[in-house]
């Protein structure tokens, strides 16, 4: 069974950040998220892995587009 997708509200509470920060991280830092209609959905384990790999580090450079 795969992990359920959760809303931006749930994910923002998890690390204690604003939804605006999440949307910035998606656009500029390659944060893992799936678009479902007009809503962004997340898997908690993917977000945790992204944070552990310094994805949320404000001093790190953004990943290059197309380099996944």
**CA neighbor of 34 nearest in space, from 6, 53, 15:** 6
User: In the numeric block, which tokens belong to residue 54?
Assistant: 């310094």
The whole-number pLDDT of residue 1 equals 61
What are the extents of the domains in the chain?
6-52
The whole-number pLDDT of residue 54 equals 79
**CA neighbor of 44 nearest in space, from 2, 1, 3:** 3
The whole-number pLDDT of residue 9 equals 94
Q: Assess contact for 41 and 5: CB atoms under 8 A.
A: yes
Instruction: Read off the pTM.
Output: 0.74
The whole-number pLDDT of residue 63 equals 55
Q: How do residues 23-51 score in pLDDT, each as one tens digit?
A: 999 998 989 999 999 999 999 999 989 88
User: To the nearest whole percent, how much of the chain has pLDDT over 70?
Assistant: 84
């Amino acid at each position: 069974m795969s992990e359920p997708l959760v809303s931006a509200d749930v994910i923002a509470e998890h690390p204690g950040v604003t939804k605006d920060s999440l949307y910035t991280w998606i656009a500029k830092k390659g944060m893992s998220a799936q678009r479902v209609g007009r809503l962004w959905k997340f898997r908690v384990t993917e977000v945790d892995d992204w944070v552990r790999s310094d994805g949320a580090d404000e001093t790190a450079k953004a990943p290059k587009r197309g380099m996944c």
